[in-house]
Chains A and B, each alone.
Chain A
């Protein structure tokens, strides 16, 4: 990363695209205070967090969904994992339980409460990981390649959730197609710098997979 400058404002839905190893994940980790830059700073709502303590306060308002859901889910059951964040924020067990059940049902994961996290399928893990972050009601959400390795229906489900949410978010991805359907502005990360790429409406290409194969099919239903 080299004199990188990147800012987001309330209500923005931003895509960040770049080749492997270009520093997309590193950028997210710096923003969350998990990594400290050699020089430069992070600013959030006029504050300049420096220490772990400062970042701890910011993490209550900024969520990060990791690329690998297995890194995010560590509790034995889904309910406990989702309730982990609210409990850390000082909510009572009843409140945390209530919030978790509500967010799970909002994500169509009702009835998953007592499922064992490590026995969920890849797609289910991803959705639960999203729930663990959303339950904390963040103002800003960072998503690190949320579509990688998921099947069509889970990808669609995540798109549907993100479009329904009234939240500022930054999504890192390789997939133009996916970004075009969820974000409004897209930036690229190249040679350590963030550059404006385009408006996601300009970006739409007709390069996509066809689950219907050679069978006659329409494109109206977004498939």
Chain B
């Protein structure tokens, strides 16, 4: 079962207007991604950590998520300094491990973790459905919202369908192995999943048509922008401007 573990809670981050969270997370991600100055990046990481702490998320769950991404980052540290031209730190045969490569890897590591933390703390603390409606209020095209919400809803159904097929195979003594029978079975399974998914998609669409769907999504939710949201908007805005300022004047604090 796919779960939205981070969305449950009552921290200030959970209570924040989802529209503000989306805007803040987007601006923060873009700004962090285009910044180069180490001071800015470290501040961005501190920013991300602070928000994750404010969201009162389970430390191990966040750590596990970060670990997955940093697994990929680890390979960058292995490969990038060898392929990047610059002053060698040490050499392995004909290959040089360069300082500029290390600097680049460090930048990528900082950026990735800062962005990931902020996304977990800001967007991860709302249910996907809520985000969909918030995007709707931010005037994103209806079709995108439609795809987003329907994908979200039917991922569960497709997963259930998959579990059902797997069970059906298992009760007939199917044991996966390294043989043609296994590959064929999985191919059938996936094929059947696609067939069922598309058949279901059609039925769902028909059911929606029967209830007067004409391509436009209306929403029941109306978000209220409270005074505390306004305070948060100022705080987040000030933080982002500070980061921008550091990047602009290239101050080095560390």
Q: Which residues of A contact B (CB under 8 A)?
A: 29, 32-34, 56, 59-60, 63-64, 66, 68, 70-72, 74-77, 79-80, 83-85, 87-89, 93, 96-97, 117-118, 132-133, 136
Q: What's the count of A-B pairs with C-beta under 8 Å?
A: 85
Check B210 against A59 for contact (C-beta < 8 Å). Answer: yes
State A66–B200 Cα separation when bound (angstroms): 12
Identify B214's interface contact among A33, A76, A88, A133, CB under 8 A.
A88
Q: How far is the CB of A85 from chain B (nearest CB, A)?
A: 4
B156 at the interface (CB under 8 A from A): yes
State A93–B218 Cα separation when bound (angstroms): 8
Question: What range describes how many residues of B lie at the interface?
Answer: 20 to 34
Residues of chain B in range 182-236 having any CB-CB distance to chain A below 8 Å: 200, 203-204, 206-214, 216, 218-222
State A76–B129 Cα separation when bound (angstroms): 7
- 29 A-B pairs with CB atoms under 8 Å apart are A29-B206, A32-B209, A32-B210, A34-B209, A59-B209, A59-B212, A64-B207, A71-B207, A72-B207, A74-B150, A74-B208, A76-B127, A76-B129, A76-B152, A76-B153, A80-B129, A83-B220, A84-B208, A87-B218, A88-B211, A88-B216, A88-B218, A93-B219, A93-B222, A96-B218, A117-B153, A133-B210, A133-B211, A136-B211
The A interface, classified by DSSP as helix, strand, loop or mixed, is helix
State A56–B209 Cα separation when bound (angstroms): 8
Identify A85's interface contact among B127, B150, B211, CB under 8 A.
B211
Q: Which residues of B contact A (CB under 8 A)?
A: 127-129, 149-150, 152-154, 156-157, 200, 203-204, 206-214, 216, 218-222
Check B207 against A66 for contact (C-beta < 8 Å). Answer: yes
Check A118 against B212 for contact (C-beta < 8 Å). Answer: no
Q: Which residues of B contact A96 (CB under 8 A)?
A: 218, 220
